[in-house]
Amino acid sequence: MTKTIPVQKNDYIEVVFEDLTHDGAGVAKVDGYPLFVKNALPGEKAKIKVIKVNKGYGFGRLEEILEESPYRVDTPCPIYKECGGCQLQHLSYEGQLLAKEKQVRDVLTRIGKLENVKVHPVLGMSEPWRYRNKAQVPVGEREGGLIAGFYQQRSHEIIDMEACMIQQEKNDEVVQAVKRICTKYGVTAYNEQRHKGSLRHIMARHGQVTKEVMVVLVTRTPDLPNKERIVKEIVEAVEGVKSIIQNVNSKKTNVILGDETRVLWGEEVIYDLIGNVKFAISSRSFYQVNPAQTKVLYDQALSYAELTGEETVIDAYCGIGTISLFLAQKAKKVYGVEIVPEAIADANRNAELNEIDNVEFAVGEAEVVIPNWYKEGIVADVLVVDPPRKGCDDALLQTIIEMKPKKVVYVSCNPATLARDLRILEDGGYRTVEVQPVDMFPHTTHVECVALIELK
């Protein structure tokens, strides 16, 4: 018997929202049939219009809020609705942290089948604005010059932007200056449809502690007319610039950076500090975007690792060696592995920079390198993983289960793949002791977690 769908397209109905989706929409159920409505909050009663009806779920549009959530706030950012970079500004920060905690708990139960895992309240920021140390904005053209900002939601129309409330002010300043200077020297914007024009993206990186600035101009072709003058004016306009990079991306792609990088001025890297460790960061390397919370995250990982100085540690997906170098100060030996060669070059430079000599880094896939290490007799007492959103490769998880490190510390930017991988480790003889979510991305739906897993 097929269940009939209780609503029809274009119906106006009253609903009460009970949950948020992982992308921040409100969820209401009509006779068990879920409707997803943007901008609605749990606990709210509202009139909605049904705009799409699928077999198992539908979508609605918020028409009128009849009873407001006590956590609803006015959104401070004037471009919040058009931009889509943030999804939760209409929810108070306290409400966001509670929602993220619930999301982690729900996903661990639903996907990981982990009942009763201890999930701590989310560690949030005391000042949750202006936190991002990296901006990458698409460039377009309008009469009168270049614009740069963001793609309007669900389109590739670029909206010009002067300020982003989750960016560090310095990055806004860089984008404004580059826009103005490149307009002055007649640089054209890249046109996606015609695959013509020059400047595709402006990227800015800011060392929060050192105040050093990197500017990256991503262009379609290697030539950049008036290069010297553009560079000179950027250096004069923005205090702290230490590195100006041109990145050439000639492909028809949404991927921002291309393979070719040239230093136009200054250094190849900028430096920043997390705690007492200094890092060199190049244009293509991954570096956590919220430096204040990165410290919180790494301290948590370090505290779970409970190192005494005797341990062999493996740091999988190590990037520029950030976690590895933190751990190395308390371990006997740390092995880091990462797929991006430039990141490993940075990692080696970072080890040297901090005079840390008990680390060894390798370029490659964690799921290939770590099994090889294991064959060579390298066995970790503590294994840290910090994979991208898709989680750990199964081959890596199987090697962990064979290698049997006493502890696994799992740093995750996606609770769904964390839950999936925890289930595999649990079935392989491990126990999830506790999970500490950390809010690295206030006002967005993202949530980072550190999980402590022990051999049973």
Contacts of 394 (CB under 8 A, 6+ apart): 367, 424
**Any contact of residue 288 with ligand SAH (CB under 6 A)?**
yes
Residue 68 near residue 44 (C-beta atoms within 8 A) = yes
Which of 164, 318, 413, 449 is an active site residue? 413
Q: Which of 166, 347, 366, 438 forms a contact with ligand SAH (CB under 6 A)? A: 366
Q: Residue 189 carries which DSSP code?
A: B
**Any contact of residue 282 with ligand SAH (CB under 6 A)?**
no
Stretch that binds ligand SAH, among 87-95, 139-147, 336-344, 447-455 (CB under 6 A): 336-344
User: What CA–CA distance (Å, rounded) separates 296 from 280?
Assistant: 20
Cβ closer to ligand SAH: 323 or 328?
323
Question: By CB neighbour count within 10 A (0-12 exposed, 13-18 middle, 19+ buried), where does 95 fall?
Answer: buried
**Any contact of residue 208 with ligand SAH (CB under 6 A)?**
no
Question: By CB neighbour count within 10 A (0-12 exposed, 13-18 middle, 19+ buried), where does 364 fall?
Answer: middle
Number of residues counted as binding ligand SAH (CB under 6 A):
19
Q: Which residues within the stretch 391-420 sit at the binding site for ligand SAH (CB under 6 A)? A: 393
Smallest distance from ligand SAH to CB 413, Å: 7
Per the annotation, where are the binding residues for S-adenosyl-L-methionine? 288, 317, 338, 386
Cβ closer to ligand SAH: 69 or 324?
324
User: What CA–CA distance (Å, rounded) separates 92 from 76?
Assistant: 11
**Any contact of residue 448 with ligand SAH (CB under 6 A)?**
no
User: What CA–CA distance (Å, rounded) separates 260 from 126?
Assistant: 40
Contacts of 364 (CB under 8 A, 6+ apart): 337, 339
Measured from each CB, the residue nearest to ligand SAH is 319
Cβ closer to ligand SAH: 243 or 288?
288
**Any contact of residue 340 with ligand SAH (CB under 6 A)?**
yes
Q: Which of 139, 147, 202, 318 forms a contact with ligand SAH (CB under 6 A)? A: 318
Q: Which two tokens stand for residue 434?
A: 């506790």
Cβ closer to ligand SAH: 239 or 352?
352
Stretch that binds ligand SAH, among 35-43, 49-57, 153-161, 381-389 (CB under 6 A): 381-389
Q: How many CB atoms within 10 Å of residue 186?
A: 10
User: What CA–CA distance (Å, rounded) separates 317 from 388?
Assistant: 8
Residue 58 near residue 33 (C-beta atoms within 8 A) = yes
- DSSP H helices, 157-252, are 169-184, 227-237
Structural element, H or E, at residue 362: strand 359-363
**Any contact of residue 343 with ligand SAH (CB under 6 A)?**
yes
**Any contact of residue 322 with ligand SAH (CB under 6 A)?**
yes
Smallest distance from ligand SAH to CB 393, Å: 6
Q: Which two tokens stand for residue 403?
A: 């290698």
Stretch that binds ligand SAH, among 228-236, 239-247, 257-265, 365-373 (CB under 6 A): 365-373
Smallest distance from ligand SAH to CB 388, Å: 5
**DSSP secondary structure, 67-79, as one string:** E--TTB-----TT
Smallest distance from ligand SAH to CB 298, Å: 7
Cβ closer to ligand SAH: 181 or 203?
203
User: What CA–CA distance (Å, rounded) separates 78 from 76?
Assistant: 6
Q: Which of 268, 299, 365, 426 forms a contact with ligand SAH (CB under 6 A)? A: 365
User: What CA–CA distance (Å, rounded) separates 16 from 26?
Assistant: 9
Quick note: the x/- pattern for ligand SAH over 115-154, rule CB under 6 A, is: ----------------------------------------
Q: Which of 17, 150, 151, 317 forms a contact with ligand SAH (CB under 6 A)? A: 317
Cβ closer to ligand SAH: 27 or 339?
339
User: What CA–CA distance (Å, rounded) separates 321 from 332?
Assistant: 16
**Any contact of residue 338 with ligand SAH (CB under 6 A)?**
yes
Cβ closer to ligand SAH: 149 or 387?
387
Q: How far, CA to CA in Å, does 338 sit from each of 147, 344, 361?
A: 36, 7, 8
Residue 413 falls in the annotated catalytic set? yes
Distance of CA 79 to the CA centre of its chain: 21
Q: Which residues are catalytic, by number?
A: 413
Binding site for ligand SAH (CB under 6 A): 286, 288, 317-319, 322-323, 337-340, 343, 365-367, 386-388, 393
